[in-house]
Structure 1
Amino acid sequence: MKKAYAVIGANFGDEGKGLMTDYFCRTNDNPIDIRINGGAQAGHTVCTSEGERHIFSHIGAGYFAGADTYLSEFFIANPMLFV
């Protein structure tokens, strides 16, 4: 049976959503990271196993765990930040 985890914040900013997303993606098979809304102002922080800190904006915080990122129609992308 497939499991789904939703990491939802209470609009307080730094709540650990990036860390939880990274954890769920690392501990489950075939993870998918879906960005429902928001945009480039997001800052989902993940620490690598080497101790490096990375802040994700457009790409989902499960990227280092091998998760594909899907952006919904409500996500606002900033093309200039992809350059």
Structure 2
Amino acid sequence: KLEAEELLRATPSIPWTVIRPGGVYGPGDVDYFNLFKEVEKGRNVFFGNEDRWFSAVYVDDLVRAIVEAARSESAARKSYFICDGRPVT
């Protein structure tokens, strides 16, 4: 992924926008649903170790961000991290 981004940055003739989503969750997503159920019960859930932060994004919010970026000329030649803004460990 990084090499692809570097190639895009080095090619001024191609308009591009990079979207870097957090963990995507939504309807039908069993893995994140089970994880969120555990958190709701008050259990601590760790990804790797407690020093590593993780951000998620709801699938509808991600789609909205992608559509907005595709429609916006000011998004050209930029990279965006798309997440819900609430990092967890």
Name the TM-score, length of structure 1 as normaliser: 0.27
Higher helix share: 2
User: TM-score, structure 2 length as denominator?
Assistant: 0.25
Structure with bigger strand share is 1
Higher relative contact order (CA 8 A, sep 6+): 2
- Report which of the two structures shows the higher radius of gyration computed on alpha carbons: 2
